[in-house]
Amino acid sequence: MRVLIQRVSQAEVTVEGRSTGRIGTGLLVLVCAMGGDDRATAERLAGRVARLRIFRDDQGRMNRSVQDIGGAALVVSQFTLAADTRTGNRPGFSTAAPPDEGERLYLAFAEALRAQGLPVETGEFGADMKVSLVNDGPVTIWMDSADRS
């Protein structure tokens, strides 16, 4: 599973002009389930995201998690994080989980964040979404569950 995390002061996702999720301070998390991922992968990665210390403490250091600051998460499916750009000019996406599995794992990831005590809003899986955000910092972090030893 791959996630791209952005520390935000606000973020929103809309589908056909209607808002499906909106948060203030917290994390915008773009999520891609990869072939071979399972629910345990989603839960483990959600725990890492919830505990990721990228918010400022009283000394201005990135030392607090979204849990610590009472923030929220906006979780948006993003299969293009599986893009293979090693050859040619058109990315391939064959390493992404099939759509049914991808949706199940995306929802499991959002559920696992909720289980960590975070308010969670979501996009709409498979929809043409418009995402707006104010990236705070900017801070953008990439995580891939395959990188974990």
Positions annotated as catalytic residues are 78-80
Measured between alpha carbons, how far is residue 78 from residues 66, 125, 149 in Å? Answer: 21, 9, 24
Tell me the C-alpha distance between 64 and 74, whole Å.
Answer: 18
133 contacts 6 by C-beta, under 8 angstroms: yes
Q: Which pair of structure tokens corresponds to residue 12?
A: 């929103």
E-strand stretches of the chain: 2-15, 18-23, 26-32, 55-56, 62-64, 72-77, 120-122, 129-144
Residues 40, 140: Cα–Cα separation, whole Å: 24
What DSSP state is assigned to residue 83?
-
